[in-house]
């Protein structure tokens, strides 16, 4: 079953480049409105981890598609954990919440996400999860491809330097050592790859509201979105 659109009006899409804070704000928004929260990036990350775990070359598109179609990915709340996670991700029943954030996954996820059939499978699953539910869905192509009829579409961005600073802070809080320069380079590389790919490139939907969060903290961004959602 391929559900083209969510019939509910309670659908908010959030797209934007790497580490723009869209997941943090999206989760706050979903909790406030009591909507389901779905961060689609974790699904592409889980497929990439499955490929790496099986020692398959991420450049092997056919193998990547097969793994995307046959892997079992589940997403649950962060309930029961106080390690800073926003939600819990399972791959084949194993908790991979932190593994999918590794530099190795960062390095390959954009290539895996560029494959047309990998995307088709993820989009199918995303529409199934969101069907008939009020949802805040976060990603790169949610307003343009996954839920194009959503009444409120947001594109959250910030300067690459500010995004790298935030991601470095996340990593330090998680006790992972990382350098600002490496993170900035990865963010810039993924932004270019994600924006220039053939299938579902990263871009704001024509009717998206663009929010630059370089100067705003998550609470300020949340207030701005809540006032948009109230109109």
Chain residues binding ligand CDP by CB under 6 A are 18-19, 40-42, 44-45, 109-110, 113, 139-141, 190, 194
Q: Compute the least distance from the CB of residue 91 to ligand CDP, in Å.
A: 14
Q: Compute the least distance from the CB of residue 16 to ligand CDP, in Å.
A: 8
Task: Name which of 34 and 90 has its Cβ closer to ligand CDP.
Answer: 90
Task: Name which of 45 and 153 has its Cβ closer to ligand CDP.
Answer: 45
Long-range contacts of 108-111 (CB under 8 A, 24+ apart): 108/48, 108/51, 108/52, 108/58, 109/41, 109/44, 109/45, 109/48, 109/190, 110/189, 110/190, 110/193, 110/194, 110/197, 111/58, 111/59, 111/193
The candidate with the shortest Cα–Cα distance to 122, out of 69, 59, 198, 57, is 69
Q: Compute the least distance from the CB of residue 200 to ligand CDP, in Å.
A: 7
Task: Name which of 6 and 40 has its Cβ closer to ligand CDP.
Answer: 40
Q: Compute the least distance from the CB of residue 145 to ligand CDP, in Å.
A: 8
Q: With DSSP H G I counted as helix, E B as strand and the rest as coil, what are the percentages for the chain, rounded to 5? A: 50, 15, 35
Task: Name which of 58 and 139 has its Cβ closer to ligand CDP.
Answer: 139
Q: Compute the least distance from the CB of residue 166 to ligand CDP, in Å.
A: 10
Q: Which residue has the tokens 């450049």?
A: 59
Count other C-beta atoms under 10 Å from residue 205's C-beta: 19
Task: Name which of 140 and 153 has its Cβ closer to ligand CDP.
Answer: 140
């Amino acid at each position: 079953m391929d559900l083209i659109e969510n019939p509910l009006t309670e659908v908010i899409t959030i797209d934007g480049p790497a580490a723009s804070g869209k997941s943090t704000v999206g989760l706050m928004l979903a909790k406030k409105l009591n909507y389901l929260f779905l961060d689609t990036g974790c699904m592409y990350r889980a497929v990439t981890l499955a490929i790496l775990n099986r020692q398959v070359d991420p450049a092997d598109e056919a193998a990547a598609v097969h793994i995307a179609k046959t892997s079992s990915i589940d997403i649950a709340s962060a309930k029961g954990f106080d390690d800073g996670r926003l939600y819990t991700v399972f791959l084949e029943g194993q908790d991979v919440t932190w593994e999918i954030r590794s530099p190795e996954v960062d390095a390959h996820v954009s290539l895996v996400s560029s494959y047309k059939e990998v995307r088709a499978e993820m989009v199918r699953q995303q529409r199934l999860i969101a069907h008939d539910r009020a949802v805040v869905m976060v990603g790169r192509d949610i307003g343009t491809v996954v839920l194009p009829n959503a009444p409120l579409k947001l594109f959250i961005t910030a300067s690459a330097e500010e995004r790298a600073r935030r991601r470095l802070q996340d990593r330090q809080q998680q006790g992972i050592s990382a350098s600002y320069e490496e993170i900035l380079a990865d963010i810039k590389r993924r932004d270019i790859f994600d924006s220039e790919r053939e299938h579902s490139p990263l871009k704001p939907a024509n009717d998206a509201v663009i929010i630059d969060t370089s100067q705003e903290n998550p609470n300020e961004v949340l207030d701005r979105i809540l006032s948009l959602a109230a109109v």
